[in-house]
Amino acid sequence: MTKAGSKGGNLRDKLDGNELDLSLSDLNEVPVKELAALPKATVLDLSCNKLTALPSDFCGLTHLVKLDLSKNKLQQLPADFGRLVNLQHLDLLNNRLVTLPVSFAQLKSLKWLDLKDNPLDPVLAKVAGDCLDEKQCKQCASKVLQHMKAVQADQERERQRRLEVEREAEKKREAKQRAKEAQERELRKREKAEEKERRRKEYDALKAAKREQEKKPKKETNQAPKSKSGSRPRKPPPRKHTRSWAVLKLLLLLLLCVAGGLVACRVTELQQQPLCTSVNTIYDNAVRGLRSHNILQWVLQTDSQQ
Protein backbone atom coordinates (compact mmCIF):
# COMPACT_ATOMS: atom_id res chain seq x y z
CA MET A 1 0.00 0.00 0.00
CA THR A 2 1.70 3.16 -1.25
CA LYS A 3 1.85 6.36 0.79
CA ALA A 4 3.07 9.79 -0.20
CA GLY A 5 6.13 9.55 1.96
CA SER A 6 7.51 6.59 -0.01
CA LYS A 7 6.90 8.24 -3.39
CA GLY A 8 8.38 11.67 -2.91
CA GLY A 9 10.12 11.97 0.42
CA ASN A 10 8.74 14.00 3.30
CA LEU A 11 5.36 15.73 2.83
CA ARG A 12 6.91 18.98 3.91
CA ASP A 13 8.99 18.89 0.74
CA LYS A 14 5.75 18.93 -1.28
CA LEU A 15 4.25 21.80 0.67
CA ASP A 16 4.15 25.02 -1.38
CA GLY A 17 2.90 27.82 0.83
CA ASN A 18 -0.47 26.55 1.98
CA GLU A 19 -0.88 24.08 -0.90
CA LEU A 20 0.01 20.40 -0.70
CA ASP A 21 -0.09 18.47 -3.97
CA LEU A 22 -0.36 14.68 -3.60
CA SER A 23 -1.96 14.05 -6.95
CA LEU A 24 -0.69 11.26 -9.21
CA SER A 25 1.00 9.67 -6.20
CA ASP A 26 -0.52 6.22 -6.68
CA LEU A 27 -2.06 6.46 -3.20
CA ASN A 28 -4.31 3.66 -1.92
CA GLU A 29 -4.94 5.43 1.40
CA VAL A 30 -4.62 8.93 2.77
CA PRO A 31 -1.67 9.68 5.11
CA VAL A 32 -3.92 11.33 7.71
CA LYS A 33 -1.37 11.49 10.53
CA GLU A 34 1.20 13.24 8.31
CA LEU A 35 -1.46 15.65 7.02
CA ALA A 36 -2.62 16.45 10.56
CA ALA A 37 0.96 17.52 11.33
CA LEU A 38 0.70 20.14 8.57
CA PRO A 39 -2.17 22.45 9.62
CA LYS A 40 -0.68 25.06 7.31
CA ALA A 41 -1.70 22.97 4.29
CA THR A 42 -5.23 24.30 3.80
CA VAL A 43 -5.28 23.33 0.13
CA LEU A 44 -4.94 19.59 -0.50
CA ASP A 45 -4.85 17.88 -3.89
CA LEU A 46 -5.44 14.11 -3.79
CA SER A 47 -6.69 13.73 -7.36
CA CYS A 48 -5.72 10.94 -9.73
CA ASN A 49 -4.95 8.31 -7.10
CA LYS A 50 -6.44 4.91 -6.22
CA LEU A 51 -8.46 5.91 -3.20
CA THR A 52 -11.61 3.82 -2.64
CA ALA A 53 -12.50 5.26 0.78
CA LEU A 54 -11.48 7.92 3.23
CA PRO A 55 -10.70 6.94 6.84
CA SER A 56 -12.96 8.38 9.54
CA ASP A 57 -10.09 10.36 11.08
CA PHE A 58 -9.74 12.21 7.76
CA CYS A 59 -12.67 14.34 8.95
CA GLY A 60 -10.43 15.66 11.72
CA LEU A 61 -8.49 17.73 9.14
CA THR A 62 -10.73 20.70 9.86
CA HIS A 63 -8.13 23.17 8.63
CA LEU A 64 -8.80 22.20 4.99
CA VAL A 65 -10.31 24.94 2.86
CA LYS A 66 -9.91 23.42 -0.62
CA LEU A 67 -9.97 19.68 -1.31
CA ASP A 68 -9.55 17.91 -4.65
CA LEU A 69 -10.57 14.23 -4.64
CA SER A 70 -11.37 13.96 -8.33
CA LYS A 71 -10.52 10.91 -10.46
CA ASN A 72 -10.34 8.37 -7.66
CA LYS A 73 -12.52 5.34 -6.90
CA LEU A 74 -14.40 6.68 -3.90
CA GLN A 75 -17.68 4.83 -3.34
CA GLN A 76 -18.76 6.85 -0.31
CA LEU A 77 -17.66 9.62 2.01
CA PRO A 78 -17.29 9.22 5.79
CA ALA A 79 -20.51 9.68 7.79
CA ASP A 80 -19.04 12.65 9.67
CA PHE A 81 -17.67 14.37 6.56
CA GLY A 82 -19.58 17.46 7.70
CA ARG A 83 -16.93 18.10 10.37
CA LEU A 84 -14.83 19.80 7.65
CA VAL A 85 -16.66 23.03 8.45
CA ASN A 86 -14.01 25.29 6.86
CA LEU A 87 -14.19 23.57 3.49
CA GLN A 88 -15.11 26.02 0.69
CA HIS A 89 -14.06 24.18 -2.46
CA LEU A 90 -14.68 20.44 -3.05
CA ASP A 91 -13.98 18.54 -6.25
CA LEU A 92 -15.46 15.02 -6.44
CA LEU A 93 -15.36 14.65 -10.20
CA ASN A 94 -15.23 11.12 -11.67
CA ASN A 95 -15.66 8.88 -8.63
CA ARG A 96 -18.18 6.17 -7.79
CA LEU A 97 -20.40 8.11 -5.40
CA VAL A 98 -24.12 7.38 -5.31
CA THR A 99 -25.17 9.40 -2.29
CA LEU A 100 -23.70 11.92 0.12
CA PRO A 101 -23.70 11.61 3.91
CA VAL A 102 -26.38 13.59 5.74
CA SER A 103 -23.67 15.48 7.62
CA PHE A 104 -22.81 17.07 4.25
CA ALA A 105 -25.45 19.66 5.16
CA GLN A 106 -23.09 20.99 7.87
CA LEU A 107 -20.56 22.27 5.28
CA LYS A 108 -21.92 25.79 5.63
CA SER A 109 -18.77 27.38 4.17
CA LEU A 110 -18.94 25.35 0.93
CA LYS A 111 -19.10 27.63 -2.12
CA TRP A 112 -17.94 25.37 -4.95
CA LEU A 113 -18.78 21.73 -5.74
CA ASP A 114 -18.30 19.38 -8.68
CA LEU A 115 -20.13 16.01 -8.71
CA LYS A 116 -19.94 15.24 -12.42
CA ASP A 117 -19.24 11.71 -13.67
CA ASN A 118 -20.57 9.94 -10.55
CA PRO A 119 -23.40 7.36 -10.56
CA LEU A 120 -25.45 9.65 -8.37
CA ASP A 121 -28.94 8.92 -7.16
CA PRO A 122 -31.33 10.44 -9.75
CA VAL A 123 -32.77 12.94 -7.28
CA LEU A 124 -29.30 14.07 -6.16
CA ALA A 125 -28.07 14.18 -9.77
CA LYS A 126 -30.96 16.42 -10.75
CA VAL A 127 -30.26 18.76 -7.82
CA ALA A 128 -26.51 18.92 -8.56
CA GLY A 129 -26.89 19.64 -12.27
CA ASP A 130 -23.87 20.26 -14.48
CA CYS A 131 -20.65 21.90 -13.36
CA LEU A 132 -19.29 23.15 -16.64
CA ASP A 133 -18.16 26.53 -15.40
CA GLU A 134 -17.55 28.47 -12.22
CA LYS A 135 -21.14 29.67 -11.94
CA GLN A 136 -22.63 26.20 -12.31
CA CYS A 137 -20.25 24.75 -9.74
CA LYS A 138 -21.23 27.44 -7.26
CA GLN A 139 -24.92 26.75 -7.96
CA CYS A 140 -24.21 23.05 -7.48
CA ALA A 141 -22.74 23.71 -4.04
CA SER A 142 -25.70 25.88 -3.00
CA LYS A 143 -28.38 23.51 -4.30
CA VAL A 144 -26.75 20.38 -2.93
CA LEU A 145 -26.38 22.00 0.50
CA GLN A 146 -30.06 22.98 0.47
CA HIS A 147 -31.01 19.48 -0.66
CA MET A 148 -28.91 17.83 2.04
CA LYS A 149 -30.36 20.16 4.66
CA ALA A 150 -33.83 19.08 3.55
CA VAL A 151 -32.74 15.44 3.68
CA GLN A 152 -31.29 16.03 7.13
CA ALA A 153 -34.53 17.69 8.28
CA ASP A 154 -36.56 14.82 6.85
CA GLN A 155 -34.35 12.31 8.59
CA GLU A 156 -34.58 14.28 11.81
CA ARG A 157 -38.36 14.34 11.54
CA GLU A 158 -38.34 10.63 10.81
CA ARG A 159 -36.05 10.08 13.76
CA GLN A 160 -38.35 12.14 15.96
CA ARG A 161 -41.33 10.22 14.61
CA ARG A 162 -39.64 6.92 15.40
CA LEU A 163 -38.75 8.21 18.83
CA GLU A 164 -42.36 9.28 19.35
CA VAL A 165 -43.57 5.88 18.17
CA GLU A 166 -41.10 4.20 20.50
CA ARG A 167 -42.20 6.46 23.37
CA GLU A 168 -45.86 5.68 22.66
CA ALA A 169 -45.04 2.00 22.45
CA GLU A 170 -43.13 2.28 25.72
CA LYS A 171 -46.07 4.11 27.32
CA LYS A 172 -48.41 1.38 26.11
CA ARG A 173 -46.07 -1.28 27.46
CA GLU A 174 -45.88 0.55 30.79
CA ALA A 175 -49.66 1.03 30.87
CA LYS A 176 -50.14 -2.63 30.03
CA GLN A 177 -47.67 -3.60 32.72
CA ARG A 178 -49.41 -1.34 35.24
CA ALA A 179 -52.78 -2.81 34.26
CA LYS A 180 -51.36 -6.30 34.61
CA GLU A 181 -49.89 -5.47 38.02
CA ALA A 182 -53.18 -3.87 39.11
CA GLN A 183 -55.05 -6.96 37.92
CA GLU A 184 -52.65 -9.19 39.81
CA ARG A 185 -53.06 -7.03 42.94
CA GLU A 186 -56.83 -7.19 42.59
CA LEU A 187 -56.66 -10.95 42.12
CA ARG A 188 -54.47 -11.34 45.18
CA LYS A 189 -56.81 -9.06 47.13
CA ARG A 190 -59.85 -11.08 46.05
CA GLU A 191 -58.13 -14.37 46.87
CA LYS A 192 -57.16 -12.98 50.27
CA ALA A 193 -60.75 -11.86 50.90
CA GLU A 194 -62.07 -15.26 49.83
CA GLU A 195 -59.56 -17.00 52.08
CA LYS A 196 -60.56 -14.73 54.95
CA GLU A 197 -64.26 -15.44 54.34
CA ARG A 198 -63.58 -19.18 54.19
CA ARG A 199 -61.68 -19.05 57.48
CA ARG A 200 -64.45 -16.97 59.05
CA LYS A 201 -67.06 -19.53 57.99
CA GLU A 202 -64.92 -22.33 59.39
CA TYR A 203 -64.57 -20.39 62.63
CA ASP A 204 -68.33 -19.79 62.83
CA ALA A 205 -69.00 -23.47 62.09
CA LEU A 206 -66.61 -24.57 64.83
CA LYS A 207 -68.15 -22.10 67.25
CA ALA A 208 -71.67 -23.34 66.43
CA ALA A 209 -70.57 -26.95 66.85
CA LYS A 210 -69.07 -26.06 70.20
CA ARG A 211 -72.32 -24.43 71.31
CA GLU A 212 -74.22 -27.57 70.28
CA GLN A 213 -71.82 -29.70 72.29
CA GLU A 214 -72.37 -27.45 75.30
CA LYS A 215 -76.16 -27.71 74.98
CA LYS A 216 -76.26 -31.52 75.03
CA PRO A 217 -75.13 -31.96 78.70
CA LYS A 218 -77.74 -29.38 79.77
CA LYS A 219 -80.49 -31.36 78.08
CA GLU A 220 -79.33 -34.54 79.76
CA THR A 221 -79.24 -32.70 83.13
CA ASN A 222 -82.80 -31.45 82.65
CA GLN A 223 -83.99 -35.01 82.08
CA ALA A 224 -84.77 -37.24 85.08
CA PRO A 225 -81.63 -38.99 86.34
CA LYS A 226 -81.36 -42.72 86.02
CA SER A 227 -81.59 -44.86 89.16
CA LYS A 228 -78.57 -46.51 90.61
CA SER A 229 -79.86 -49.87 89.46
CA GLY A 230 -79.80 -48.59 85.90
CA SER A 231 -83.60 -48.47 85.52
CA ARG A 232 -84.98 -45.88 83.18
CA PRO A 233 -86.50 -42.71 84.68
CA ARG A 234 -90.24 -42.62 84.97
CA LYS A 235 -91.97 -40.75 82.27
CA PRO A 236 -94.08 -37.80 83.30
CA PRO A 237 -97.80 -38.66 83.51
CA PRO A 238 -99.85 -37.76 80.51
CA ARG A 239 -101.80 -34.58 80.53
CA LYS A 240 -105.03 -36.56 80.71
CA HIS A 241 -104.05 -38.03 84.12
CA THR A 242 -103.15 -34.57 85.33
CA ARG A 243 -106.63 -33.33 84.46
CA SER A 244 -108.19 -36.35 86.25
CA TRP A 245 -106.24 -35.55 89.41
CA ALA A 246 -107.44 -31.99 89.24
CA VAL A 247 -111.08 -33.12 88.96
CA LEU A 248 -110.60 -35.57 91.82
CA LYS A 249 -109.08 -32.84 94.00
CA LEU A 250 -112.03 -30.58 93.18
CA LEU A 251 -114.50 -33.31 94.17
CA LEU A 252 -112.64 -33.92 97.40
CA LEU A 253 -112.75 -30.21 98.13
CA LEU A 254 -116.50 -30.17 97.53
CA LEU A 255 -116.97 -33.19 99.79
CA LEU A 256 -114.97 -31.48 102.50
CA CYS A 257 -117.08 -28.40 102.14
CA VAL A 258 -120.28 -30.47 102.31
CA ALA A 259 -118.97 -32.41 105.31
CA GLY A 260 -117.99 -29.22 107.03
CA GLY A 261 -121.41 -27.72 106.43
CA LEU A 262 -123.11 -30.88 107.66
CA VAL A 263 -121.06 -30.89 110.88
CA ALA A 264 -121.88 -27.22 111.42
CA CYS A 265 -125.59 -27.84 110.97
CA ARG A 266 -125.69 -30.81 113.38
CA VAL A 267 -123.36 -29.72 116.16
CA THR A 268 -123.44 -25.93 116.31
CA GLU A 269 -126.24 -23.53 117.12
CA LEU A 270 -126.89 -23.19 113.38
CA GLN A 271 -128.97 -26.38 113.43
CA GLN A 272 -132.09 -24.30 114.19
CA GLN A 273 -131.64 -22.31 110.99
CA PRO A 274 -133.97 -23.19 108.06
CA LEU A 275 -131.10 -24.16 105.81
CA CYS A 276 -129.52 -26.43 108.40
CA THR A 277 -132.95 -27.95 109.16
CA SER A 278 -133.24 -28.92 105.51
CA VAL A 279 -129.69 -30.27 105.46
CA ASN A 280 -130.30 -32.34 108.63
CA THR A 281 -133.50 -33.73 107.18
CA ILE A 282 -131.74 -34.76 103.97
CA TYR A 283 -128.95 -36.31 105.98
CA ASP A 284 -131.34 -38.28 108.23
CA ASN A 285 -133.26 -39.57 105.24
CA ALA A 286 -130.06 -40.61 103.54
CA VAL A 287 -128.84 -42.43 106.64
CA ARG A 288 -132.16 -44.30 107.08
CA GLY A 289 -132.05 -45.30 103.44
CA LEU A 290 -128.57 -46.69 103.70
CA ARG A 291 -128.94 -48.56 107.01
CA SER A 292 -130.13 -51.62 105.14
CA HIS A 293 -126.57 -52.28 103.92
CA ASN A 294 -124.41 -54.12 106.47
CA ILE A 295 -121.15 -52.53 105.49
CA LEU A 296 -122.55 -49.07 105.56
CA GLN A 297 -124.20 -49.83 108.91
CA TRP A 298 -120.84 -50.94 110.25
CA VAL A 299 -119.27 -47.74 109.02
CA LEU A 300 -121.96 -45.64 110.57
CA GLN A 301 -121.75 -47.52 113.88
CA THR A 302 -118.03 -46.99 113.95
CA ASP A 303 -118.56 -43.38 113.19
CA SER A 304 -121.15 -42.97 115.93
CA GLN A 305 -118.91 -44.64 118.45
CA GLN A 306 -116.17 -42.24 117.64
**Domains, the chain, ranges and CATH?**
12-154 (3.80.10.10)
Dist. CA 297–CA 116, nearest whole Å? 173
| CB atoms closer than 10 angstroms to residue 138 | 15
Helix 274-290 vs helix 239-267: crossing angle, to nearest 10: 110
Q: HSE, CB side, 13 Å, CA atoms: give it for residue 4.
A: 24
* In contact, 67 and 44? CB cutoff 8 Å: yes
pTM across the whole model: 0.56
pLDDT in tens, the chain (306 residues): 455 444 434 888 899 999 999 999 999 999 999 999 999 999 999 999 999 999 999 999 999 999 999 999 999 999 999 999 999 999 999 999 999 999 999 999 999 999 999 999 999 999 999 889 999 999 999 999 999 999 999 999 999 999 999 999 999 999 999 999 999 999 999 999 999 999 999 999 988 888 888 887 665 555 545 544 445 556 555 555 677 788 888 888 888 877 777 777 777 766 677 777 777 787 777 777 766 665 555 555 655 554
- Give the residue among 38, 138, 15, 148 at the shortest CA–CA distance from 88: 138
In sequence order, the 6+-apart residues with CB closer than 8 A to the CB of 46 are: 22, 23, 27, 30, 67, 68, 69, 72
Sequence letter at residue 201: K
